[in-house]
Amino acid sequence: MLLEKTMVNELKELLSTQGMTEVGFAAVTPPEEYAALTHAVSLVLPLSDAVIDTIKTAPTHTYFHHYRTVNAYLDRLALSVGLFLQNRGYRYVCVPASQSINGFSGLFSHKEAAVSAGLGVIGRNALFLSEKYGPRVCLATILTDADLSLGFKALSKKDPCANCQACVRACPAMAISGKSYKEGSNDIIDRSACSEHMKRAYQKIGRGVVCGLCMSVCPAGRK
């Protein structure tokens, strides 16, 4: 028990020396090939407000660069967590940091891990809304067989979307239905409409894989 408590604290310290303060721990159902790795470390890294505030009617080259840099950094941080765990005799796999703005598919859902870790909720825009930073974040996840239950905390009870539809109005692809995540987790967003719009409209800005409008207009977590 003491060993696990120490490990959770040491992990937090390791990450805080690298600028990462939003860290959570959760029990998860892993993909079949990693069935023994039933605990997750969730990392939530804030994006630059100065950069996000420049997204008014379209993404910017600076945002695309920032997005890629943050994701590359998250991959590095995730690896440092994995090595920390492996050095203590545990197994791990780092889920690759998202490489597209709505990061829908992948080895494991970063959003699921972050919500389960009590770090935030899913918004009407289908993005993870951090309790502290709203949607202005990127996520990483490390799955492991280490027992991290001493780091668990309760699910977030916040509902930033309660009286808001800002992202619904702002979406140029009309891809956001306006339903809350609870009302319809599978159809709150038309993923094809979002992706096709980005490819068509922003091919010359970020190769058509970023947009950011439904993030920049969101009041959640804004300073």
Would you say 115 or 176 has its CB closer to ligand SF4? Answer: 176
Query: In angstroms, what CA-CA distances link 147 with 2, 3, 15, 36?
Result: 12, 10, 18, 11
Per the CB < 8 A criterion, the answer to whether 210 and 203 are in contact is no
Between CA 44 and CA 50 the distance in angstroms is 18
From residue 95 to residue 114, the character string flagging contacts with ligand SF4 as x (rule: CB under 6 A) and all else as - is ------x-------------
- DSSP secondary structure of 89-100: T--EEEEPPPSS
Q: Is 212 left (phi over 0), alpha (psi -120 to 50) or beta?
A: left
Residue 70 in the binding site for ligand SF4 (CB under 6 A): no
Residue span binding ligand SF4 (CB under 6 A) among the ranges 2-10, 31-39, 106-114, 208-216: 208-216
Residue 52 in the binding site for ligand SF4 (CB under 6 A): no
Cα 198 to chain centroid distance, Å, stands at 20
Residue span binding ligand SF4 (CB under 6 A) among the ranges 27-35, 61-69, 149-157, 207-215: 207-215
Residue 55 in the binding site for ligand SF4 (CB under 6 A): no
Q: Of 74, 194, 205, 209, which lies in the binding site for ligand SF4, with binding defined by CB under 6 A? A: 194
Residue numbers of the site for ligand SF4 (CB under 6 A)? 101, 123-125, 160-161, 164-167, 170-173, 175-176, 189, 194, 197-198, 211, 213-214, 217-220
